[in-house]
């Protein structure tokens, strides 16, 4: 899944800035033939208050056969379902392919199933992948996923037919969609699909790559001073016993700043960041295959004499010296 992020900062939904704790995911489809995920930015990044659009609507993301475009932070309250589902559900739209039109209500006219099968499969897969990522990020399961028409039946969304006016044409339903998400979640043992064997450990001193633009896909952008001002020390790599995944990426916490010249540590920026955005400057532990040779500088029968020498060594700068 290729995930892109660009927020609709002009949309009134964004500027209202309400946050939610996502408890579920609502799947929509656009009912707008042939308009793909990237195209929706210019269509919807408009202010209703300022008279730039006649609709008050905004969703978290659009999915097509090629990519996902995220347009709101996942924990931002969206305007996607016209009901209380907006308070609890992340909402995304699957883009519908071109080459047909809409009749009355949600009837697809001239929809060629065979011609659209390959588009449908790819868009379906991207939607499954997105749900897997969000389930992992917000500790949800496939049972927390509904479509707009199911939301209407539950009384938490307006009376729309998506996606059940479309999925059955390709022999699918929301039950088979949830089943596909379940299979994908089980495959990873409920764990993120990304590589967990990060080489970054607690205590490592790192720098933020100059090429990194956001802390993680969909996260805040990284100010220049974070990259150039100092190094950072990684202080946490798990939370509640689990790897921390944000925007589908394995993240670590930059809990301390480290002066580039003096190595002096100070209060950190306390941001979680994708390990892919980091270079290790100084590793906190030697690689497994690295042998260490130790030099003994004295042997004593009197412990006090040993302690005296240890003090001497430490004050001379051998701060790692120890007694055995
Ligand atoms: Zn909908």
- CATH at residue 86: 3.40.80.10
Whether residue 195 lies inside any domain: the answer is: no
Same domain, 124 and 266: no
Centre of ligand 1 to C-alpha 286, Å, is: 53
Same domain, 86 and 118: yes
Centre of ligand 1 to C-alpha 157, Å, is: 9
Q: What is the pLDDT of residue 104?
A: 86
Centre of ligand 1 to C-alpha 26, Å, is: 8
Q: What is the pLDDT of residue 196?
A: 38
Same domain, 278 and 307: no
Q: What is the pLDDT of residue 40?
A: 97
Same domain, 23 and 95: yes
Same domain, 246 and 303: no
Is residue 191 pLDDT above 80, yes or no?
A: no
Q: What is the pLDDT of residue 248?
A: 84
Centre of ligand 1 to C-alpha 160, Å, is: 6
Same domain, 106 and 180: yes
Centre of ligand 1 to C-alpha 86, Å, is: 12
Q: What is the pLDDT of residue 253?
A: 95
Same domain, 300 and 268: no
Same domain, 45 and 175: yes
Q: What is the pLDDT of residue 286?
A: 59
Confidence of residue 287 (pLDDT cuts 50, 70, 90): low
- Residue range 170-191: mean pLDDT, rounded: 88
Q: Render pLDDT for 126-177 as a digit per residue (tens, 0 to 9).
A: 999 999 999 988 989 999 999 999 999 999 999 999 999 999 999 999 999 9
For 102, the enclosing helix (H) or strand (E) is: strand 101-102
Centre of ligand 1 to C-alpha 212, Å, is: 34
Q: What is the pLDDT of residue 172?
A: 97
Same domain, 116 and 19: yes
Whether residue 224 lies inside any domain: the answer is: yes
Q: What is the pLDDT of residue 164?
A: 97
Same domain, 164 and 80: yes
In this structure, which residues have their CB less than 5 angstroms from ion ligand 1?
A: 28, 148, 160, 162
Termini Cα distance of the chain = 54
Residue percentage of the chain with pLDDT more than 70: 93
Centre of ligand 1 to C-alpha 89, Å, is: 12
Whether residue 192 lies inside any domain: the answer is: no
Confidence of residue 240 (pLDDT cuts 50, 70, 90): confident
Same domain, 162 and 277: no
Of the candidate ranges 70-84, 192-206, 240-254, the one whose mean pLDDT is the lowest: 192-206
Average predicted confidence (pLDDT) for the chain: 90
Is residue 282 pLDDT above 90, yes or no?
A: no
- Residue range 97-104: mean pLDDT, rounded: 94
The residue ranking higher by pLDDT, 79 or 197, is 79
Centre of ligand 1 to C-alpha 162, Å, is: 5
Whether residue 49 lies inside any domain: the answer is: yes
**Which of these, 179, 92, 77, lies nearest to 130 by C-alpha position?**
92
Is residue 123 pLDDT above 70, yes or no?
A: yes
Centre of ligand 1 to C-alpha 50, Å, is: 24
**Which of these, 235, 204, 209, lies nearest to 224 by C-alpha position?**
209
Q: What is the pLDDT of residue 133?
A: 92
* 304 Cβ contact list (under 8 Å, min separation 6): none
Centre of ligand 1 to C-alpha 285, Å, is: 51
Is residue 194 pLDDT above 50, yes or no?
A: no
Q: How far apart are CA 317 and CA 324, in angstroms?
A: 19
Domain, as residue range, for 237:
205-282
Q: How far apart are CA 1 and CA 129, in angstroms?
A: 6
Centre of ligand 1 to C-alpha 246, Å, is: 26
Centre of ligand 1 to C-alpha 221, Å, is: 30
Provide the pairing of β-strand 68-70 with 3-5.
parallel
Centre of ligand 1 to C-alpha 245, Å, is: 28
Same domain, 179 and 241: no
Q: What is the pLDDT of residue 100?
A: 97
Please count the structural domains in the chain: 3
Whether residue 287 lies inside any domain: the answer is: no
- Residue range 34-48: mean pLDDT, rounded: 97
Q: What is the pLDDT of residue 288?
A: 52
Q: How many Cβ atoms from other residues are within 10 Å of residue 78's Cβ?
A: 28
Q: What is the pLDDT of residue 238?
A: 81
Cβ atoms of 80 and 28 closer than 8 Å: yes
Cβ atoms of 55 and 43 closer than 8 Å: no
Residue percentage of the chain with pLDDT more than 90: 68
Whether residue 42 lies inside any domain: the answer is: yes
Whether residue 289 lies inside any domain: the answer is: no
Whether residue 73 lies inside any domain: the answer is: yes
Centre of ligand 1 to C-alpha 47, Å, is: 20
Buried b (16+ CB within 10 A) or exposed e, 211-248: ebeebbbbbeebeeebbeebbbbbeebeeeeebbbbbb
Centre of ligand 1 to C-alpha 256, Å, is: 44
Centre of ligand 1 to C-alpha 44, Å, is: 15
Is residue 116 pLDDT above 60, yes or no?
A: yes
Centre of ligand 1 to C-alpha 80, Å, is: 7
Q: What is the pLDDT of residue 292?
A: 67
């Amino acid at each position: 899944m290729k995930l892109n992020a660009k927020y609709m900062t002009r949309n009134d939904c964004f500027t209202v800035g309400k946050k939610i704790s996502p408890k579920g995911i609502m799947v929509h489809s656009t009912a707008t033939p042939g308009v793909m995920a990237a195209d929706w930015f210019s269509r919807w990044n408009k202010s209703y208050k300022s008279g730039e659009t006649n609709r008050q609507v905004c969703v978290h993301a659009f999915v097509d056969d090629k990519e996902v475009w995220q347009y709101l932070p996942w924990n931002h309250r969206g305007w996607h379902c016209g009901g209380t589902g907006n308070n609890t559900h992340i909402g995304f739209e699957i883009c519908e392919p071109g080459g047909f039109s809409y009749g009355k209500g949600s009837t697809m006219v001239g929809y060629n199933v065979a011609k659209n099968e390959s588009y449908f499969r790819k868009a379906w897969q991207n939607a499954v992948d997105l749900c897997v990522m969000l389930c992992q990020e917000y500790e949800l399961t496939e049972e927390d996923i509904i479509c707009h028409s199911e939301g209407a039946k539950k009384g938490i969304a307006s009376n729309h037919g998506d996606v059940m006016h479309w999925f059955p044409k390709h022999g699918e339903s929301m039950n088979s969609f949830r089943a596909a998400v379940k299979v994908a979640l089980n495959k990873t043992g409920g764990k993120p699909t990304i590589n967990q064997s990060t080489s970054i450990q607690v205590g490592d001193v790192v720098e933020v790559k100059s090429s990194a633009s956001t802390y993680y896909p969909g996260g805040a952008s990284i100010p220049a001073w974070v990259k150039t001002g100092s190094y950072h020390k990684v202080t946490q790599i798990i939370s509640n016993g689990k790897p921390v995944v944000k925007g589908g990426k394995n993240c670590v916490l930059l809990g301390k700043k480290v002066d580039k010249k003096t190595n002096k540590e100070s209060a950190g920026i306390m941001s979680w960041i994708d390990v892919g955005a980091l270079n290790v400057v100084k590793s906190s532990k030697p690689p497994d295959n690295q042998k260490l040779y130790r030099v003994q500088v004295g042997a004593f029968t009197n412990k006090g004499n040993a302690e005296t020498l240890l003090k001497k060594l430490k004050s001379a700068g051998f701060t790692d010296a120890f007694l055995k």
